[in-house]
Chains A and B, each alone.
Chain A
Amino acid sequence: QKEVEQNSGPLSVPEGAIASLNCTYSDRVSQSFFWYRQYSGKSPELIMSIYSNGDKEDGRFTAQLNKASQYVSLLIRDSQPSDSATYLCAVNTNGGTSYGKLTFGQGTILTVHP
């Protein structure tokens, strides 16, 4: 069983809609969760981090964490064509310690069409 799982997509949404990206993880003691955006041929860019249950909002982005269900999601409101990219979920799977051993999902390809 993969430690961090994402639907590979592609997920296609119309411009202006809400894009919903989901991620599940297997290590119950994980404490840190991250969403990265990666444009084709480029390196990942950190867009959200979340550590506590609930929602965290930053502009058009909202991260949602539910540790009981081992589930983290990213909502993108008012999606724009420039949001078209691969979104990577990353989880600290090193037993909840502070050391930076992140495990990445395979990524979800998002396409926002005009």
Chain B
Amino acid sequence: DGGITQSPKYLFRKEGQNVTLSCEQNLNHDAMYWYRQDPGQGLRLIYYSQIVNDFQKGDIAEGYSVSREKKESFPLTVTSAQKNPTAFYLCASSIDAPGTSAIDEQFFGPGTRLTVL
């Protein structure tokens, strides 16, 4: 079964703690993304990566870090510098087609709900 998996489904963090959210895909997609969703709001882009060992900041990257050591994996670390981390975190992937004018569709994992205690 091809798809995007995220773990854990629920995560609780204490103040001052770093936590890492996992995202894995077996769709052979080139591009991967991390979004944050707050209640009643749309999605905001945290980081994205188009190829292995390269990633770019999105609109709200402060307090977050990522790595892209393998094509299949794009983990997100929420650091203690992120002052309001409680949110629903969504990972997505797309085929991506550099040089074309059309955007490839993004597909989402099931999400991780992070709560700060």
Interface residues on B, range: 20 to 34
* B90 near A101: Cβ-Cβ < 8 Å: no
Q: Are A99 and B96 in contact (CB under 8 A)?
A: yes
CB-CB under 8 A for A102 and B103, given A88-B42, A88-B43: yes
- What is the size category of the interface that chain A forms with chain B? 20 to 34
Please tell me if B52 contacts chain A, counting CB pairs below 8 Å. Answer: no
A100 touches B103 (CB 8 A): yes
Q: Which of the residues A8, A43, A105, A106 comes within 8 Å of B108, measured between beta carbons?
A: A43
User: Smallest Cβ distance from A67 to chain B, in angstroms?
Assistant: 13
One of A34, A46, A92, A100 near B48 (C-beta < 8 A): A100
Main secondary structure of the interface of A (DSSP, over half): loop
| A46/B42 in contact, CB under 8 A | no
Provide the A85-114 mask, 1 if CB < 8 A to any CB of B, else 0. Answer: 000101010001011111111110000000
- Pick from B103, B104, B111: contact of A43, CB under 8 Å: B111
Cross-chain contact A100 with B104 (CB below 8 angstroms): yes
